[in-house]
Amino acid sequence: MVEGNKNKKWNWWPLFPLYPYGNKKTILRELIPSQIWSLEQIQGLYYVAVPIRMTVVKVESGLMLINPLPPTKELVNELEKLINIHGKVKTIVLPSASGLEHKIGLPALSRVFKDADIWLCPGQWSFPINLPLDFLGIPSKRTRILFEDGTPHGDAFKWFSLGPLNLGLGRYQEVSCFHYSTRTLHVTDAIVGIDSTPPEIFNFDPTPLLFHSRERGDEPLIDTMEQREKGWARLILFSSFLKPGKLNIPPLKKILKYSFKKDLCDWRSHFGIYPFMWEEDWESSLVEIMGKDSPKIQIAPVLKKLIFPRSKEVLIKWLENINDFKDMEYLIPAHFTAPIKFTKEDCQNLIEEINSEKWNILQEDSKFLINLYKKLFELGIIPKEVNI
């Protein structure tokens, strides 16, 4: 194995088998000079892969990690560059109760940073049964629960919660924080900013972008900037709506007709199996969710349709808390663009949008998610009682 690949190896991937499986590239970006950094990897299913972020914040005599990522050798090497300058990892925060993609790296990360205090969002749950923390690989001796046991670095951050909301199998909750000195708001999944430029991490392997930039399985994967942007736009639609309105699944006969063509019989092209058929005007779906040059700030579309339909008030209450940070300048979420210019006005715009008629309009693109929500509700999986 070449040295580069060894650094990217993550042996625990069968626990949560997401693309790129055991071979995760990590990049380090500086978000706020000498104060905040981002470590990014790609996670996804069947090439519907989007970047996921662990945020590193400089705290008193060390560093705090928000939203753990799997600690590949490459990730630890990158972190060590920061540790050498700013001091050791003092705190690891898992601020989400429901986002499995943010939890999966925590046990291994906590073993790498043996002295770090671990803070968890209340109400962690594992499916199908609730297991004790140590069983999940989280060392209970140095683990504390946000709010119940206080909050970390309380002088430098204001901590507050979105939710909890009852999901039946568990809860939806995320804990956000405002960092006074950089005037930065940190969230996990609830707010995102999406723009048309493919994230930097795809420069190392643009395959997921090129895979989706095609119309049929017998088309080769061609690497041009235009194709990368087209593929990125489609990945945004997948991750926002699961099944976008302008996407059809062709009949099996048609899929097989274009599969297994010469030169495409490899894992990279999934042997030409491409079970997607986009309508000609598919790009019209992007208007609502993707900004061209600057990120479009929004409540994450999947949460908007799956979690918040009955709990608008909880969402508004949370945004009103955010609105108290009068000098707020930036937003750093765990997905998509960061940092994003984000002020009190942007927050107020979100509140107004949620209160407007537009919020309840059912777009073609959201039909799949809404039907999924209805189905889960009918089956009793999403309970009638929303509060915990």
Binding site for Fe ion (CB under 5 A): 99, 189
Minimum distance, C-beta of residue 93 to Fe ion, in the bound complex (Å):
14
The residue among 99 and 272 lying less far from Fe ion, judged by its C-beta, is 99
Please report how close the Cβ of residue 254 comes to Fe ion at its closest, in angstroms.
34
Q: How far is the CB of 241 from Fe ion (least distance, A)?
A: 16
Rounded to a whole number of angstroms, the minimum distance from the CB of residue 53 to Fe ion is: 9
Do 19 and 42 touch, CB atoms closer than 8 A? yes
The least CB distance from residue 38 to Fe ion, in Å, is: 14
The DSSP string of 243-278 is: S-TTEE---HHHHHHTSS-TT--STTTGGG----EE
Q: Which is nearer to Fe ion, 43 or 285 (CB)?
A: 43
- Judged by beta carbon, residue 43 or residue 269, the one nearer Fe ion is 43
Residue number, 106 or 255, with CB nearest to Fe ion: 106
**Minimum separation from the CB atom of position 92 to Fe ion (A):** 17
Angle of helix 312-322 relative to helix 344-355, nearest 10 degrees?
Answer: 160
Nearer to Fe ion, 15 or 277 (CB): 15
Q: Closer CB to Fe ion, residue 74 or residue 101?
A: 101
Q: Work out how close the CB of 258 gets to Fe ion at its nearest, in angstroms, rounded to a whole number.
A: 33
Phi, psi of 341 (to 5 degrees): -60, 120
CA separation for the pair 327, 184 (Å, rounded): 9
The answer to whether 102 and 144 are in contact (CB under 8 A) is no
Cβ contact 160:175 at 8 Å? yes
Measure the CA dihedral 189/64/52/193, to 10°.
50
Q: What is the dihedral of CA 19, 332, 311, 356, to 10 degrees?
A: -110
In the complex, the smallest distance separating the C-beta of residue 260 from Fe ion, rounded to whole angstroms, is 35
Are 70 and 110 in contact by the 8 Å Cβ rule? The answer is no
Nearer to Fe ion, 193 or 217 (CB): 193
Contact 330, 177 (CB under 8 A): no
Half-sphere exposure of 13 (CA within 13 A, CB side): 17
Residue number with CB closer to Fe ion (95 or 231): 95
Per the listing, tokens 């491409």 go with 274
Q: Torsions phi, psi of 39, nearest 5?
A: -105, 125
Instruction: Please say which residue, 40 or 189, places its beta carbon nearer to Fe ion.
Output: 189
As a whole number of Å, the end-to-end CA separation of the chain is: 50
Least distance between Fe ion and beta carbon 19 (Å): 15
Q: Return d(Cα 216, Cα 92) in angstroms, integer.
A: 44
